[in-house]
Amino acid sequence: MQYSATEAMAKGQAERILVLCQDVLARASLTFDDLTAIGVGVGPGNFTGIRISVSAARGLALGLGIPAIPVSTFEMLRDPFGAEATASELVVVAAPRGAAYVQPFRYGRPSAAPELIDPATPPDHLRAVNLCVTGHLANEIAGNLGGTPNPTSADDDPAARIARITEWKLANGHDLATRPAPLYVRAPDAAPARDKPPVILA
């Protein structure tokens, strides 16, 4: 049986996340010590939320001596019950200002780095034989690349999708030694401060 919880919060996520995890485990009559692995979403997505969840997952994994397994939003959009099935797949995630993030996959594993594209004019290097286009604007992008669309959403049950992909990675030995880190396809909008850093006196 699966247990999950979702809370919409404008702030206070850092203070709440571990308590919420503990509450979910208690509902399943488990504790943190019963865990054998932790799956965590690494984005692309909300900057602050991802940093908080990744930090919490890495801290727990270190303390418990278990792997923390990263799951990207691209992986979440794929069919969680056929993770390795498609030989040529392009997964699409919505990006700001009408753009899209895309990443090619082969048999459930990324075959190239993600990139930012204009969905109306996807670059030709993304074309492939028997291409399946999964996720955001799948119909439009598949039409432009001569592929087959597979519209889907990671929002239907994100916790279940992360758990399924984590289970698949654990069983196949994928990303077990990879330290989760936020996945940013483009640079953040905020610019670094122009002021010189303060001088530290020893």
Task: From the options 2.60.40, 2.60.120, 3.90.550, 3.30.420, give the CATH code of 79-150.
Answer: 3.30.420
Q: Does domain 13-72+154-172 have CATH number 3.30.70.100?
A: no
Tokens for 27? 């509902």
Q: Is the pLDDT of residue 189 over 90?
A: no
**Least trusted range by pLDDT, from 16-20, 69-73, 120-124, 194-198:** 194-198
**Cα(77)–Cα(29) distance, integer angstroms:** 30
Domain boundaries, the chain: 13-72+154-172, 79-150
Per-residue pLDDT tens digits for 62-87: 999 999 999 999 999 998 778 888 89
pLDDT at 195: 57
At residue 139, the 3 state secondary structure works out as helix
Tell me, yes or no, if the two domains 13-72+154-172 and 79-150 fold the same way.
Answer: yes
Q: What is the pTM of this model?
A: 0.88
164 — pLDDT class (breaks 50, 70, 90): very high
Handedness of CA 83, 111, 170, 181 (dihedral sign): negative
Say whether pLDDT at 193 is over 70.
no
The predicted-structure confidence for 89-124, as pLDDT tens digits, reads as follows: 999 999 999 999 999 999 999 999 999 999 999 999
Beta bridge partners of 72: 43
